[in-house]
Chains A and B, each alone.
Chain A
Amino acid sequence: MLLHLAWKSLLNRKLTTLLTLASIACSVGLLLAVEQVRTGARDAFANTISGTDLIVGGRSGSINLLLYSVFRIGNATNNVSYEAYQHFANHRAVEWTIPYSLGDSHKGYRVVGTTSAFYEHYRYYGDRKVLFASGAPTEGIFDVVLGSDAARVLGYKMGDKITLSHGMTEAVGGAAGHDDKPFTVTGILAKTGTPIDRSLYISLYGMEAIHVDWQEGAPPMIGEEIAASEISKDRLEIHNVTAFLLRAKRRIDSLRLQREVNTYAAEPLMAILPGVTLAELWNIVGYAEDALRIVSVLVVIVGFLGMLVAIYTTLEERRREMAILRAVGVGQAKIATLLIMESGLLTVVGSLLGISLVYGAAFAAQPLIEQHFGLYLPIRALGQVEYLYLICLWLAGFALGVVPAWKAYRNSLADGLSIRL
């Protein structure tokens, strides 16, 4: 009965009710959206790499190593010699390794020299493999496989010829470029939602080949170039890799292997546990996350205060209504309950609207975000944290109703059955 009355009464004040619902829906929506983005980003972040026990690179900062090897951000300061790589790749305790040779780019997309091990062993989001949308792994020296974003944005098809440039700068006219050695697109990867999508993949031989005539990191002098046609795999010698991913046969060995890498006598190397370093990195990013969360909580508080004001200000004009209800025999406690129900209803309906708003927006925005930022935000069902939020919000909504309820209680005590006009 009371619920019915509360509902009718809210409907009677359509505009105020709608505005209040909108403000609650927006504030709750923002809170949930922040939570979605936060956990979505964290998931995407943490799931960029899995199944790898150690990442090994030249000695530098652990976060730096993680950034350039997994996220393709920043640059290595030191390489790993091919001998050292071979040493660990053939180590008794090692199951597989994926070498990365970095440093070149194509139109802003990084080029990764690697081996077939990458297509075979790389895992993300638990146990997902790198799959091909079309084509196959690189075979020839001048074959290139494109990440899905790179292929889509640059509009390349199978069989297209592309040239790479040295470093991350856009080389023009071959000054620091590899225009003389074009690559043929032989494969395009399926979407992974990770930085893999934004890279190009060639073989270690290919990486070596484009630098074969370079001296000390500088392009060859005129007349000293070696033509692509003269290069074959057996004439190439791989000198170094930038980093490599490593999987131990038994996970328990990874710590021992890490120590072994870190104390490798022949050259200064460093091994990191990806999970640990991801967490370290996330802690840095986490401050932004906290700030976002605080702001969204504040917005929710503002939304709720708006509701409180909206209900409270109607009380004066509703004294007549209360007196009528009293005359019909509605107790004062029930009058108070009526107002608590109104604020509760607004909160519940408002937050349900907020939820649909978030999911509606998420489904609408997901392809756009992916297209423009290359960031794949997974849409997931409400999690424990969100349910906890919602329960707290609903309790708060009902609790806030106590304020107007108390006022109405006092009013009806003072008014009794006399109607003040």
Chain B
Amino acid sequence: MKPAEPATLQAPSRMAPDGAAIDIRDLQFAYRTGPRVLDISAFRVTQGEHAFLFGPSGSGKTTLLGLISGVLEARQGSLNVLGQNLATLSPAARDRFRSAHIGYIFQMFNLIAYLSVEENIMLPCQVSSERRERLGGADPRGEARRLAEHLDLGPYLRRNVLELSVGQQQRVAAARAMIGRPALLIADEPTSALDYDHRGQFLDLLFAQCNAAGTTLLFVSHDQTLMPRFERQIALREVNAAATGVT
């Protein structure tokens, strides 16, 4: 697999004035009927960083990602993502913000079954005009092809996504998350369905793409063998005072 050429370094979609991709202060969160699941006094990820976030189940990972991506609403405290306080935005505005600036990769089953590989990759450009415009006039289809080439998916563009291996599917998900150079990429255990060799390759590709686009990476996993490859490691249990899980 070819790494992205470092010469194509580009600015990410959004720069926070203070250089913080994620800046959380005094955030508390509880689901409507449940107990408090998050209580974070300070959490910061610097722009451009590759951060590894780990923690057992019950440590509040899913909730934290929901808040950062703007699907959940922070009612207390401040939650700044790329310099934007999400707590002050309406749900629709948070959706727009997410579609414009955040790429998201799930653990597995990332793809929409009724769309081709190419259409899956192009999806964010269809949802968000900002992402489309960031291609600088390039055709989303062409950009999807370019990303696919970088991720060794060239021959599969027209395929039905269900014909792809899990590793290929995750790479398609990465291409979709990265199209239009979002400033923040959230990867929620993207390698847990992959075998050891493919994990390493996937990480290489992800890093290369993030570096090329200047994208901040928030990588969530409980697989601590991957940890050394990241420049920053965060244990959620230490950040979240409301964590209930056991180590």
Give A419 to B114 CA distance when docked, in angstroms: 17
| Contact indicator B114/A417 (Cβ below 8 Å) | no
With CB as the reference atom, state the residue of chain B lying closest to A329. B99
Q: Which residue of B lies closest to A421 (CB)?
A: B109
Judge if A328 is at the interface, Cβ distance under 8 Å.
Answer: yes
B89 interface contact, C-beta 8 A: no
A45 to B213, CA, bound (A): 77
| Complex contact B126–A1 (CB within 8 A) | yes
Across-interface contacts of B107 in A (CB, < 8 A): 419
Q: What is the bound-complex CA distance between A326 and B114, given in angstroms?
A: 16
- Tell me the A8-62 residues at the B interface (CB within 8 Å): 8-9, 11-12
A323 and B102 alpha carbons, distance in the complex (Å): 15
Q: Is A331 an interface residue (CB 8 A)?
A: yes
Tell me whether B113 is interfacial, beta carbon within 8 Å: yes
Q: Would A328 and B124 count as touching, CB distance under 8 A? A: yes
Q: Quick check: is A283 within 8 A (CB to CB) of the other chain?
A: no
Contact B127 A419 (CB under 8 A): no
| B95, CB-defined interface residue at 8 Å | yes
B134 within 8 A of A: no
> CA A103 – CA B192 in complex, angstroms?
94
Residue of A nearest to B101 (CB): A329
* Consensus secondary structure, chain A interface: helix
Instruction: Specify which chain B residues have a CB less than 8 angstroms from the CB of A320 in the assembled complex.
Output: 109
A11 and B112 alpha carbons, distance in the complex (Å): 13
Q: Which residues of B are found within 8 Å of A330, using beta-carbon distances?
A: 95, 99, 127
Q: Are A9 and B114 in contact (CB under 8 A)?
A: yes
Cβ contact of B62, chosen from A321, A327, A329, A418, cutoff 8 A: A418
A403 to B91, CA, bound (A): 22
Instruction: Quote the shortest CB–CB distance from B93 to chain A (angstroms).
Output: 10
* Segment 47-100 of B: residues with Cβ below 8 Å from A: 62, 65-66, 69, 71-72, 91-92, 95-96, 98-100
Number of A-B residue pairs at CB separation under 8 A? 69
Contact (Cβ within 8 A) A329 B124: yes
| A148 part of interface (Cβ distance < 8 Å) | no
Q: Is there contact, CB below 8 Å, between B66 and A417?
A: yes
Q: Report Cα–Cα, A405/B40, bound state, in Å.
A: 35
Q: How far is the CB of B179 from chain A (nearest CB, A)?
A: 10
- Say if the beta carbon of A140 comes within 8 Å of chain B: no
Q: Taking A8-B114, A9-B114 as contacts, is the C-beta distance between A332 and B91 under 8 angstroms?
A: yes
Bound-state CA distance A332–B109 (Å) is 20
Q: Give A1 to B132 CA distance when docked, in angstroms.
A: 13
Q: Are A331 and B92 within 8 A (Cβ)?
A: yes
The yes or no answer to A324 lying at the interface (CB within 8 A) is: yes
Q: Are A324 and B110 interface neighbours, CB within 8 A? A: yes
Cβ–Cβ contact A416 & B72, under 8 A: yes
With A12-B114, A327-B106, A330-B127 already in contact, the answer to whether A416 and B96 are too (CB < 8 A) is: no
A416-B71, A417-B66 given as contacts; is B104 within 8 A of A327 (CB)?
yes
Cα distance, A175 to B23, chains bound together (Å): 112
Residues of chain A lying within 8 A (CB to CB) of residue B92: 331, 333
User: In the docked arrangement, what's the CA distance between A318 and B42, Å?
Assistant: 37
Q: Which residues from chain B contact A321 at a C-beta distance below 8 Å?
A: 112-113
B113 touches A329 (CB 8 A): no
B98 contacts A329, C-beta separation under 8 Å: yes
Closest to B108 in A: A419
Interface centre among B71, B113, B115 (most CB of A within 10 A): B71
Alpha-carbon separation in the docked complex, A333 to B127 (Å) = 13
Q: Which residues of A contact B119 (CB under 8 A)?
A: 8
Known: A321-B112, A416-B71. A1 touches B127 (CB 8 A): yes
Sorted from nearest, which 4 A-B pairs have the closest CB atoms? Answer: A329-B99, A12-B114, A331-B95, A327-B104
Knowing that A12-B114, A328-B124, A329-B98 are A-B contacts, what are 18 other residue pairs whose CB atoms are under 8 Å apart, sorted by A's residue number?
Answer: A1-B126, A9-B114, A11-B114, A12-B113, A326-B95, A327-B104, A327-B106, A328-B123, A329-B95, A329-B124, A329-B127, A330-B127, A331-B95, A332-B95, A416-B71, A418-B62, A419-B107, A419-B109
